[in-house]
Amino acid sequence: MTGVGSAIERARRGRRALDEEHLAALAALADRVRELTEAVVLTDVEIDELAAVGEQVEALTGRLAAVRRDAPPVARYGGHGPLRHVTNPVTGLGNPLAPPLTIEFTETGARAGFTLNHVYEGPPTFVHGGITAMILDQVLGMAAASKAVPGVTASLELRYRRPTPIGVPLTVEAEVTGSSGRRSHAAGRILDPEGLVTVEAKALFIAPQR
């Protein structure tokens, strides 16, 4: 087999799957690290305390790195379903970088509610545009995968209509707008608490040739 699609399949199958108990423990650790990251971004402690905490964090990193995988793990849906990517940077419960988003599938696509803290700030009080792009890429991709053909992002077009606020409940929604052969088209948006669109997106996903 050649091509990106088969390479993704092979890489996922070659990874050791976590059981549900192990995944829950990893997710709990990732939550604590999310709290740590927000605390780092907002801390106002003295310089000596910054250095002291840094030393403790370095020691904790050493404990985790003591037994290391070559690549992130996967897990099975519900413990025995298909393999899922548990460290995805948007949805991964096991990735502290991920907000994380819990995506639900709708009749026409996918949606999720989420709130972003100051870790994701770009312009003061607003979400960084690269973060909203990443979220839209993922949710449009999952809409396409669930309603049309799973594929990699070939193009992503964004229109930032108004700033996306930090610290308030946001919604992201996406729907499939067409598909043919290996190609799926999707459209979506991020909405603020008043239902106003902050970012609009259109994307093309292409199933890699095997």
Closest distance of CB 5 from ligand 3IX, Å: 3
Site for ligand 3IX in 114-173 (CB under 6 A): 137-138, 141-142, 145, 150-155
Rounded Cα distance, 146 and 30, in Å: 27
Q: Using the rule CB under 6 A, give the single segment among 15-23, 124-132, 157-165, 199-207 that binds ligand 3IX.
A: 199-207
Three-state SS across 122-159?
CCCCEECHHHHHHHHHHHHHHHHHHHCCCCEEEEEEEE
Near ligand 3IX by CB under 6 A: residue from 9, 38, 192, 200 = 9
Q: Which C-beta is closer to ligand 3IX: that of 8 or that of 36?
A: 8
Q: Which C-beta is closer to ligand 3IX: that of 109 or that of 141?
A: 141
- Residue nearest to ligand 3IX as judged by C-beta position: 141
Closest distance of CB 155 from ligand 3IX, Å: 4
Report whether 114 contacts 191 (CB < 8 A).
Answer: no
Rounded Cα distance, 78 and 69, in Å: 23
Rounded Cα distance, 145 and 81, in Å: 17
Q: Is 83 in the site for ligand 3IX (CB under 6 A)?
A: no
Q: Is 175 in the site for ligand 3IX (CB under 6 A)?
A: no
Q: Is 100 in the site for ligand 3IX (CB under 6 A)?
A: no
Beta partners for residue 111, in sequence order: 104, 173
Q: Which residues bind ligand 3IX (CB under 6 A)?
A: 4-5, 8-9, 137-138, 141-142, 145, 150-155, 183, 204, 206-209
